């Protein structure tokens, strides 16, 4: 299939220009005024008063958390996690539905790629991955699925030396074998579905698990992912476990490279930042969950000054509690203005767009194939309708897209050259039916009480120095 | 006109209940299961799977800033203001259009009242007020219009002693006379349109202007409004002008009372907070503009602990850059979690809803008439469609409304008992035509260069101790 977009507004170094864009196969084939029509059967699309941008990467989420969005009370990460884990993990059918919804919300907020750090159903690990793969294939979104791995149980996540021996049902070798089987079954990058190695983070993973993941990443050329220093408790835990920072430890284990992306990175020191810059690893900024969980404000301006690549993520919907990438980009852009009085360091809307598109692609090792409007790049493209009320009056289209609150702004989306949103509607899945299914599989239940969070709370308050 | 809403979900102390609500005239007439139909001609509305809440108050905005949303670069307030002021203030026709758009975006994000700190066109002050009044009457939104007053020119806003003598075209007496004329012409609280006294703040107003406003507030029973200590520069300026804090000075001038609402309040001391609590004045929290302009994080958790009433505002659309009240509520709720490690102090979604509705009403001196679901209160009500994708799956409806990113969630709105939104569409004005008018009166102009900001910049950097 090929497309010619007529008179799209695209950003240039000195402003904007109105031009045509031709998509052929999976790629951007031509950009220029007055392009000839495509081959017979090529679709012509009037892009008057529409802004064309490369698709964004939702560079960190956990799709099945959707089932608990809106319901977990204001808690810090460690207590929040206890509550998240307590309530029955969804079955594969629910994983499928929440992956569909995550993909739809990502698409309708400018995202064309999703990185799903997928929480696995114990005993049904491969079925979990299969359900997510199925959903992303149906939607047609480009997906990177990182089965969320751990080989230690939840109590280990707090410093204080009590949790290290907590039993986890699978051995490290079993976890790695399961991951390798999933890779062999589902890793199809040429079809838009990739697997990643994705241990959850230093708080629940052994050194052997990180090393095994690095080996599988080498063997199958997989991107690497993990949480990193999301909370102060994790910073304390790293010192206790390793006698050094988590970043120093991951560097020694050989986990950091140019296709490693690390979610959060709130509690890094200046020397940690130098290590990330040297390794060429990517920070995934999840501003909304960092606020929601009280984790802190990641030092994003320092990362940028040090030359560390930064991308944006929504994080799982139980800690955000949406999958709206434009919201994450807006808050991730303006939040840092309160951390540095010198406005010359603040992030501009154009820089945000670059971080969300090319920054996201670089973090996945795809900087040469994805994330910019250039001939020969993958046609992962989003067309925004600049006549929607939320994008009016006409001022600076990218300024208003990033700093405003775009509503119903996404008009069309192409991924790998295939159109998946047209006239503001997802064309590949039935969203009305999806809403019915989400409704049917849930009930209003605002006052459940978590036992696990209550059990962990006393220890948490003691470790963090909070009054009892 | 009267309405019966059947089977609405409403919050109760212990969760939610499904019930009927009858609206008669301007008021909530009855709440209970199985209400009888209303008088002949009464409208019955099926509220199955819909959440009913009191309308929120957009407690601080500047509607005409809409014309510059998305276009002002990342600047702190003082340089941002120079740029805002430089570009020709809109004519009354544009003021009318931007007030319409502000009202529409407020309605579609749960707001039923707007507080418009209205920037006046020099020489056309009354025409400016008239244009805004006309727009708000047409939409049917409850409006409080505070003509933005000053009697000193912009250079006075920076500390450093150079700006105090800058000439302002009107004398203090002329400014006050203009305000009184506007009050006599347009203040019609019984019709939903009120005027307020609203000097911009200590940075551009003489003591005489504050005192004159307080007198007019007494004479006509008008709410009082002002900006207060939005930036560190203003904190420095207050010390320089008064030898004490701005709050101490306003208390001495007699400006603080129970119907005084103060926008921002970022740079207050512990003793300033005690003064506000004693006076019973309201803090209007504008989290998005405080981030966008790098003003800082207002100490909202401290206000709440001190018993100071807090409401939410979007602030003007050139510093936000939207008028989405649910976005302001979300960020104003979660932002403070990073300022206090004790999660027991964090704001819950139910508390946010209370702040946005009843908190807003209290700040306008209407706590007894507005802002809660009670028989006898004004019927300013919003019905949210819980079957929209952004509010699914079913978890805690208020939790997801506040912490999620609701899209197309507002189904119906009543203000003073009159329905102004039905099936997600504003029924009182033609939004498609409004979009065309906003489009027609604007052009994409991303690379304008401000002379005034450039002129002020060297002095700003010196005063704030930034490298030259």
* Residue-wise pLDDT tens digits, A334-385: 999 999 999 999 999 999 999 999 999 999 999 999 999 999 999 999 999 9
Q: Is the pLDDT of residue A440 over 60?
A: yes
Nearest neighbour of B403 by CB, restricted to A16, A292, A464: A292
Per-residue confidence (pLDDT) for residue A163, from 0 to 100: 56
Per-residue confidence (pLDDT) for residue A422, from 0 to 100: 98
A200 and A148 in contact (C-beta within 8 Å)? yes
Per-residue confidence (pLDDT) for residue B164, from 0 to 100: 52
**Chain A (102-161) residues lying within 8 Å, Cβ to Cβ, of chain B:** 104-105, 108
Residues of B in contact with A347 (CB under 8 A): 74
Quote the CA–CA distance of B17 and B40 in Å, as a whole number: 28
- Cβ contact B69–A431 (<8 Å): no
Q: What is the pLDDT of residues B316-370, one digit of tens each?
A: 999 999 999 999 999 999 999 999 999 999 999 999 999 999 999 999 999 999 9
For the purposes of burial, counting CB atoms within 10 Å of the CB of B332, is it exposed (0-12), middle (13-18) or buried (19 or more)? buried
- Cβ contact A466–B342 (<8 Å): yes
Beta carbons within 10 angstroms of residue B407's beta carbon: 18
Four-point Cα dihedral B89, B95, B101, B104, nearest 10 = 140
Positive or negative, the Cα torsion across B373, B379, B385, B390?
Answer: negative
Per-residue confidence (pLDDT) for residue B400, from 0 to 100: 98
Four-point Cα dihedral B369, B371, B377, B382, nearest 10 = 140
DSSP A168: -
Nearest CA distance, B75 vs chain A (angstrom): 6
Q: What is the pLDDT of residues A164-174, one digit of tens each?
A: 556 899 999 99
Nearest neighbour of A407 by CB, restricted to B14, B74, B407: B407
The predicted model gives A115-120 an average pLDDT of: 98
Structure tokens at B346: 């964090």
Structure tokens at A252: 């020694």
With 0.95 as the threshold, say if the pTM is over it. yes
**Percent over 70 (pLDDT), chain A:** 99
Give the mutation candidate from B352, B393, B435 for the A interface (greatest A CB count, under 10 A).
Answer: B393
- Cβ contact A393–B334 (<8 Å): no
Give the mutation candidate from A15, A52, A73, A74 for the B interface (greatest B CB count, under 10 A).
Answer: A74
Tell whether B169 is within 8 A of chain A (Cβ): no
**Chain A (434-463) residues lying within 8 Å, Cβ to Cβ, of chain B:** 434-435, 438-439, 441-447
Residues of B in contact with A291 (CB under 8 A): 331, 334-335, 337-338
Identify the residue with better confidence: A157 or B385.
B385
Please name the residue of chain A whose CA is at the shortest distance from the CA of residue B435: A389
Quote the CA–CA distance of B114 and B144 in Å, as a whole number: 6
Q: Is the pLDDT of residue A210 over 60?
A: yes
DSSP A359: I
- Cβ contact B447–A322 (<8 Å): no
- Cβ contact A442–B297 (<8 Å): no
Give the mutation candidate from B90, B94, B343, B347 for the A interface (greatest A CB count, under 10 A).
Answer: B343
Residues of A in contact with B321 (CB under 8 A): 399-400, 403-404
How many residues can be counted in chain A? 468
**Percent over 70 (pLDDT), chain B:** 99
**Chain A (190-249) residues lying within 8 Å, Cβ to Cβ, of chain B:** 232
Nearest CA distance, B405 vs chain A (angstrom): 5
**Chain B (299-318) residues lying within 8 Å, Cβ to Cβ, of chain A:** 317
A216 and A225 in contact (C-beta within 8 Å)? no
- Cβ contact A70–B403 (<8 Å): yes
Tell whether B21 is within 8 A of chain A (Cβ): no
DSSP B358: I
B80 and B72 in contact (C-beta within 8 Å)? yes
Per-residue confidence (pLDDT) for residue A162, from 0 to 100: 62
Give the mutation candidate from A84, A290, A297, A343 for the B interface (greatest B CB count, under 10 A).
Answer: A343
Average per-residue pLDDT for chain A: 96
- Cβ contact B439–A392 (<8 Å): yes
- Cβ contact A395–B338 (<8 Å): no
Strand (E) or helix (H) holding B182: helix B172-186
Please name the residue of chain B whose CA is at the shortest distance from the CA of residue A296: B338
Tell whether A408 is within 8 A of chain B (Cβ): yes
Please name the residue of chain A whose CA is at the shortest distance from the CA of residue B388: A435
Per-residue confidence (pLDDT) for residue B166, from 0 to 100: 62
Residues of A in contact with B69 (CB under 8 A): 393, 395, 400, 403-404
Q: Which residues of A67-92 are buried (b: 16+ CB within 10 A; e: fewer)?
A: bbbbbbbbbbbbbbbbbbebbebbeb
Nearest CA distance, A40 vs chain B (angstrom): 35
Tell whether B424 is within 8 A of chain A (Cβ): no
Quote the CA–CA distance of B189 and B223 in Å, as a whole number: 11
Residues of B in contact with A399 (CB under 8 A): 70-71, 321, 446
Per-residue confidence (pLDDT) for residue A167, from 0 to 100: 84
- Cβ contact A294–B393 (<8 Å): no
DSSP A169: S
- Cβ contact B395–A464 (<8 Å): no
The predicted model gives A274-281 an average pLDDT of: 98
Residues 6+ apart with CB under 8 A from A310: A282, A283, A284, A285, A300, A303, A304, A355, A359
Nearest CA distance, B429 vs chain A (angstrom): 14
Tell whether B322 is within 8 A of chain A (Cβ): yes
A111 and A56 in contact (C-beta within 8 Å)? yes
Per-residue confidence (pLDDT) for residue A41, from 0 to 100: 84
pLDDT grade, residue A68 (50/70/90)? very high
pLDDT tens for chain B, 468 residues: list them. Answer: 899 999 999 999 989 999 999 999 999 999 999 998 877 889 999 999 999 999 999 999 999 999 999 999 999 999 999 999 888 778 999 999 999 999 999 999 999 999 999 999 999 999 999 999 999 999 999 999 999 999 998 888 888 866 555 689 999 999 999 999 999 999 999 999 999 999 999 999 999 999 999 999 999 999 999 999 999 999 999 999 999 999 999 999 999 999 999 999 999 999 999 999 999 999 999 999 999 999 999 999 999 999 999 999 999 999 999 999 999 999 999 999 999 999 999 999 999 999 999 999 999 999 999 999 999 999 999 999 999 999 999 999 999 999 999 999 999 999 999 999 999 999 999 999 999 999 999 999 877 878 888 888 999 999 899 998
The predicted model gives A184-195 an average pLDDT of: 98
Per-residue confidence (pLDDT) for residue B458, from 0 to 100: 92
Q: What is the pLDDT of residues A4-15, one digit of tens each?
A: 999 999 999 989
Q: What is the pLDDT of residues A286-313, one digit of tens each?
A: 999 999 999 999 999 999 999 999 999 9
pLDDT grade, residue A453 (50/70/90)? confident
Quote the CA–CA distance of A173 and A179 in Å, as a whole number: 10
Please name the residue of chain B whose CA is at the shortest distance from the CA of residue A441: B393
Report in angstroms the alpha-carbon separations of B366 from A296, B27, B253, B362, B377. Answer: 37, 14, 24, 5, 10
- Cβ contact B466–A341 (<8 Å): yes
- Cβ contact B438–A69 (<8 Å): no
Quote the CA–CA distance of B423 and A70 in Å, as a whole number: 24
Residues 6+ apart with CB under 8 A from A363: A57, A59, A223, A259, A261, A282, A284, A309, A311
Please name the residue of chain B whose CA is at the shortest distance from the CA of residue A431: B389
Please name the residue of chain B whose CA is at the shortest distance from the CA of residue A319: B403
Tell whether B403 is within 8 A of chain A (Cβ): yes
Beta carbons within 10 angstroms of residue A124's beta carbon: 15
Q: Is the pLDDT of residue A446 over 80?
A: no
Longest dimension (CA), chain B: 73
Positive or negative, the Cα torsion across B102, B435, A427, A370?
Answer: negative
Identify the residue with better confidence: B459 or A256.
A256
Residues of A in contact with B295 (CB under 8 A): 338
Tell whether A380 is within 8 A of chain B (Cβ): no
Helix (H, G, I), strand (E, B) or coil at A144: strand
ipTM value of the model?
Answer: 0.98
- Cβ contact B397–A290 (<8 Å): no
Which ranges of A187-313 would DSSP assign to H, the alpha helix? 207-220, 232-242, 246-253, 270-279, 287-292, 300-306
Please name the residue of chain A whose CA is at the shortest distance from the CA of residue B466: A342
- Cβ contact A438–B398 (<8 Å): no
Tell whether A70 is within 8 A of chain B (Cβ): yes
Per-residue confidence (pLDDT) for residue B39, from 0 to 100: 77
- Cβ contact B395–A70 (<8 Å): yes
Per-residue confidence (pLDDT) for residue A116, from 0 to 100: 98
Structure tokens at B213: 């406003």
């Amino acid at each position: 299939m090929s497309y010619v977009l007529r008179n799209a507004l695209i950003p240039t170094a000195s402003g904007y220009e109105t031009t045509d864009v031709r998509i052929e196969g999976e790629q951007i084939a031509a950009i220029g005024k007055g392009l000839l029509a495509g081959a017979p059967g090529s679709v012509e699309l009037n892009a008057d008063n529409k802004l064309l941008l490369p698709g964004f990467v939702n560079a960190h989420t956990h799709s099945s958390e959707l089932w608990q969005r809106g319901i977990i009370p204001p808690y810090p990460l460690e207590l929040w996690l206890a509550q998240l884990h307590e309530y029955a993990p969804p079955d594969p059918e629910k994983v499928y539905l929440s992956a569909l919804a995550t993909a739809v919300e990502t698409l309708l907020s400018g995202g064309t790629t999703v990185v799903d750090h997928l929480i696995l159903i114990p005993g049904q690990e491969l079925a979990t991955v299969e359900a997510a793969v199925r959903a992303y294939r149906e939607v047609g979104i480009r997906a990177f699925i990182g089965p969320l791995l751990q080989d230690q149980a939840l109590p280990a996540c707090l410093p204080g030396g009590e949790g290290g021996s907590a039993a986890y049902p699978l051995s490290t070798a079993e976890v790695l074998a399961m991951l390798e089987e999933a890779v062999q079954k589902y890793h199809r990058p040429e079809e838009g579905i990739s697997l990643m190695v994705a241990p959850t983070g230093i708080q629940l993973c052994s050194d052997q698990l990180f090393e095994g993941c690095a080996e599988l990443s080498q063997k199958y050329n997989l991107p690497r992912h993990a949480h990193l220093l999301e909370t102060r408790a994790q910073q304390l835990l790293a010192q206790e476990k390793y006698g050094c920072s988590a970043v120093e430890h991951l560097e020694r284990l050989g986990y950091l490279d140019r296709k490693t992306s690390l979610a959060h990175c709130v509690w890094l020191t200046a020397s940690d930042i130098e290590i990330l810059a040297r390794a060429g690893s990517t920070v995934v900024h999840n501003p909304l969950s960092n606020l929601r969980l009280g984790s802190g404000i990641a030092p994003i301006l320092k990362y940028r000054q040090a030359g560390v690549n930064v991308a944006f993520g929504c994080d799982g919907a139980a800690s955000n509690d949406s999958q709206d990438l434009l919201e994450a980009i807006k808050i991730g852009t303006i939040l840092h203005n309160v951390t540095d009085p010198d406005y010359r360091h603040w992030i501009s809307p154009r820089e945000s767009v670059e971080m969300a598109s090319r920054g996201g692609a670089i973090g996945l090792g795809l900087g040469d194939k994805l994330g910019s409007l250039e001939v020969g790049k993958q046609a992962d493209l989003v067309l925004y309708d600049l006549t929607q009320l939320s994008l009016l009056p006409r001022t600076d289209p990218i300024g208003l897209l990033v700093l405003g609150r775009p509503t119903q702004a996404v008009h069309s989306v192409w991924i790998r050259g295939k159109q998946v949103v047209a006239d503001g509607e997802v064309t590949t899945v039935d969203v009305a039916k999806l809403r019915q299914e989400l409704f049917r599989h849930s009930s209003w239940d605002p006052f459940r009480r978590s036992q696990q969070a209550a059990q962990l709370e006393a220890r948490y308050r003691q470790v963090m120095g909070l009054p009892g």
